[in-house]
Amino acid sequence: MSLSAIQEQGQQFLALAAEAAACVRCPAMCTRAAVLTSLNGPVDARVMFIGEAPGRKGADRTRVPFSGDQSGRNFDRFLESIGLSRAQIFITSAALCNPRSASGANRRPSSTEIRNCSDFLTRTIDLVQPQVIVTLGTVALEALKLIHYHEFTLKNDAAKVRRWNERLLIPLYHPSPQVLVTSRKEQAQLRDYQVVSKAIKKLSASFTPGF
Ligand code: SF4
């Protein structure tokens, strides 16, 4: 990519981030700041991870996706297990703002909120142009259906390399402590990340130095 194209991509991202920062589409979340800034990762990353939504103690507080809470620490451990650094990936989520219940606890974003935010996810993918997309959990996987329909599920497709919208898609489980206890334990998730590593290595010829 030429220097001017990289600069143009950076400008477009800043404009998109500013739009997200001003977004009030979801009444229950419009007072929260959208987590979409340069802290999400390099906009020319070849690998994009998509989570569910910023967590109350995590990205909503730190502004860095998957950081500051146990999910973030688990995610860092999984990345480290395959030698992938945050400087090599872009991380975003199905909903850019932190959804909370009336008690103040984290909750799942509603289907309306996911739909509201789908335009931002679509435009982020179009801008970053990742070769590999890794979804973390069901909500992120389902959110992609709104952009380009698929029938993948975690039950059938977890840790398998699929083709989606002219990219490689690898559905993974969410790294939350609850999922690690109930659905996909540590050793299984570590194996899942090996699939990501292999997929990246297969594409290494077309990747930037560092891969
Ligand atoms: S979650 Fe997305 S659509 Fe909803 S208010 Fe935040 S940025 Fe806007």
Question: Which residues partner with 89 through β-bridges?
Answer: 47
The CB of 52 under 6 Å from ligand 1? The reply is no
Q: How far apart are CA 93 and CA 173, in angstroms?
A: 14
The closest-lying atom of ligand 1 relative to the alpha carbon of residue 20 is: 7
98-127 pLDDT per residue, tens: 999 999 999 999 999 999 999 999 999 999
Quick one: pLDDT band at residue 2, thresholds 50, 70, 90? confident
For each of the domains in the chain, give its residue range(s) and CATH number, in order of start: 3-205 (3.40.470.10)
Question: Which residues partner with 53 through β-bridges?
Answer: none
* Helix (H) and strand (E) counts in the chain: 8, 5
Ligand 1: centre distance to CA 102 (Å): 18
178-201 pLDDT per residue, tens: 999 999 999 999 999 999 999 999
**Mean pLDDT across the chain:** 95
DSSP code per residue over 156-168:
HHTT--EEETTEE
Angle formed by the axes of helices 111-128 and 3-21, to 10°? Answer: 160
pTM of the model: 0.95
Q: How far apart are CA 77 and CA 71, in angstroms?
A: 10
How many CA atoms lie within 13 Å of 145's alpha carbon, on the beta-carbon side?
A: 13
Average pLDDT over residues 28-51: 96
- DSSP, res 131: S
Residue type, 67: S
The CB of 6 under 6 Å from ligand 1? The reply is no
